[in-house]
Structure 1
Amino acid sequence: MTEATHDWRIDAREYARHESRRGRRFAYPTLDPRRTALAVIDMVPFHVAENRYCRAIVPHINSLAAGLRAAGGSIAWVLPAPGEPTARSIEFFGQRTAENYSGSAGFGPPSTRLWPELALGDEDLFAEKSAFSAFFPGRCDLPNLLDRRNIDTVLITGTVTNVCCESSARDAATRGFRVIMVADANAAARDHDHNATLHTIYRSFGDVRPTSDVLAMISR
């Protein structure tokens, strides 16, 4: 299966809406790399192997991770927590699908369960989440890990754009983090799904920018 890149976009009217309100296109035109974390959501073989859009974002994630590490920032790899399917998930998804999702985390140390082409670092953080969102209270240790490093800005990347990545972006914003969703470092099943989330995040929760923009902000 060949890789594919999302044809992502933000409507001109949405840019215009924010420009008229705050006098600039982006809420967060600058960032402090030392107070910034790259959150990489669910980039495990279960999600990446069969999704050509997921495989295409791996180089972008690696570039962001390398750039942010070099500038003193933090990289956080977030994986699904292993466990049995809940009664609610069985009721909603059906027995077989619920079991598949509950087993999506794989087995072994977190660093060995990620997609093998991702470039990890010695000081990187690892967190497991037992909900769609990595920032939902009591369901993932990521917020506590970031607080210990005095992080105020979160770069959201990973998969699936319109489920766990969007849920994480919304909750991160609710918890007071500055949120930037990296448009070409998230992946969904279809462009339509991907772009619907980008619209929602840009409209109400954070900025949406490509990898090249974010790398320029980091190097600045």
Structure 2
Amino acid sequence: MNSSPRTHAWRIEDREYARQQQRRGRRHAYENLVAERTALVVIDMVPFFVAGMPYALGIVDNITRLATALRVLGGAVAWVLPAGTPARPDFYGPEAARALRESGGTGPLRERLWPEFQVHDRDVLVEKTAASAFFPGRCPLPELLDHRGIDTVLIAGTVTNVCCESSARDAAALGYRVVMLADANAARRDEDHNATLHTIYRTFGDVRPTGEVLELLRGR
């Protein structure tokens, strides 16, 4: 497999932009972001999912840009790792179930992330025992974010159409303002990635690229 970084050819169809414009009078659900009340939530950026996956390698820089800027602006950065919860061999098959069970790695959480990332002392670092980081009782993230006064989450990571989409849906159900980062999530194919962007934009939150989100966080 070619492991050179790649970038998704992401898109929201013009008819969806037009639909939202007609329905609520604007293209995007959230036209401002308060940095101090915003968290970047990075899902499953561990070697198991990133190594050898070109689109995951391609979002490392954007995640780093967002994390660096958000810390400076007073927001939160949350790194979410798979906890190695047993997967059902009758569903996945024995080899895939074993691989998923071991996907989060072993050792201290910081050392289990993709090595290009730097974790700061004020960052949130947690494990999840479900696909979603916001499913009640399966990850401490919501309580930690609530304690910091967070009401907006920027969803990034891999895989777009599995754990990232699950987290975005549940975050919306819990009342967070959700922004799916169009160029800081990664899937296996553009088709899978864009299907999730469509679903989130249509029903659960907003979809923006990194550059636009940085402008909003800086009040531009």
Contact 2:84 2:100 in 1 (8 A): no
Please show how residues 202-217 of structure 1 align to structure 2 within 5 Å. 202-217=201-216
TM-aligned CA deviation for residue 82 of structure 1: 2.6
Please give the secondary structure, in 2, of the residue aligned with 1:92: helix
Q: Distance in 1 between matches of 2:21 and 2:97?
A: 43
TM-aligned CA deviation for residue 180 of structure 1: 0.1
Tell me which residue corresponds to 2:58: 56
Tell me which residue corresponds to 2:125: 126
Q: Deviations over 1:23-46 (max 9, x none)?
A: 001111101100000000000000
Aligned length: 217
Amino acid at match of 1:173: A
Gaps of 5+ in 2: none
Q: Deviations over 1:168-193 (max 9, x none)?
A: 00000000000000000000000000
TM-aligned CA deviation for residue 119 of structure 1: 2.5
Q: Deviations over 1:120-173 (max 9, x none)?
A: 212100110010000001110100110110100000000000000000000000
Q: Give the alignment's TM-score, normalised by structure 1.
A: 0.97
TM-aligned CA deviation for residue 109 of structure 1: 1.1
Query: Please, which moves more after superposition, 64-73 or 118-127?
Result: 118-127
Q: Give the alignment's TM-score, normalised by structure 2.
A: 0.97
Q: Percent identity?
A: 61
Please give the secondary structure, in 2, of the residue aligned with 1:40: strand
Q: Distance in 1 between matches of 2:100 and 2:171?
A: 23
> Cα RMSD (Å) of the superposition?
0.7
Tell me which residue corresponds to 1:112: 111
Q: Distance in 2 between matches of 1:213 and 1:94?
A: 42
Q: Distance in 2 between matches of 1:47 and 1:128?
A: 15
Amino acid at match of 1:153: T
Q: Residue 159 in 1 paired to residue 158 in 2? A: yes
Q: Distance in 2 between matches of 1:113 and 1:195?
A: 28
Q: Distance in 2 between matches of 1:125 and 1:60?
A: 19
Amino acid at match of 2:21: E
